[in-house]
Amino acid sequence: MSTNTGRVAIVTGGSRGIGREAAQRLASEGFPVVVNYAGNEAEAAKAVTTITEAGGRAIAFRADVSDPEAVAALFDAAEEEYGGVDVVVHAAGVMSDPTPIADTDFDLLDRVHRVNIRGTFAVDQQAARRVRDGGAIINFSTSVLGLSLPGYGVYAATKGAVEAITLILARELRGRDITVNAIAPGPTATDLFLTGKDEETIARMAAQPPLARLGRPTDIAEAVSFLAGPARWVNGQTIRVNGGIA
């Protein structure tokens, strides 16, 4: 366990997948963590239990990231429980089934836009106002954006916006010693990625990177740990954590 007890982290989407692994990694390094979740209270509780049983500190807090008032309440909870916020890992997001742009339903577009773009604005806005000097803001993009895969127009478009927000916010926070970066995972073995894919598709995608496997949530958590802690000279960047596929 690290001796870091002064820096506090919020992890959105922290109840499952990459967000949960990131929360557990930061907690193992001594961060008190607020595990945000949208609706799965049971999984959020499990994440908190895993952290506390390992000797860490964590609470769960429900908030829809696309609701600015709910996001403000999330930050309030972190400040009330732990005294402030130093690191924000915005891992919450949704992904749509691959659909050609010509066939895209606009209700789907609006739903993904609301969570991935509006949610990033809401979380980053509170982070910009409330993260203490010397902190870090970590957003999530996707390597799908760089690959320009057919069928992923909706998802890639929202993550392109995330990358733009990331660089602009980094520049807007000049003088406060706060870094703002994004992580763009490649195919990673989470429920979000695996659901709806057959074994052939999964095997084909696992073979794409030179390392010849799917990413693991722990791989992504390594990058989160780096950006949350020692990476003070990395700012305004998108790091493609994908095993080398692009």
Catalytic residue positions, numbered: 155
DSSP symbols for 23-48: HHHHHHTT--EEEEESS-HHHHHHHH
> d(Cα 141, Cα 77) in Å, to the nearest integer?
26
Is the Cβ–Cβ distance between 73 and 63 less than 8 Å?
yes
Partners of 90 in the β-ladder: 12
Contacts of 97 (CB under 8 A, 6+ apart): 196
Phi, psi of 219 (to 5 degrees): -60, -40
User: Which of 192, 189, 246, 196 is CA-nearest to residue 220?
Assistant: 189
> For residue 1, what are its two tokens?
């366990």
> For residue 243, what are its two tokens?
């095993």
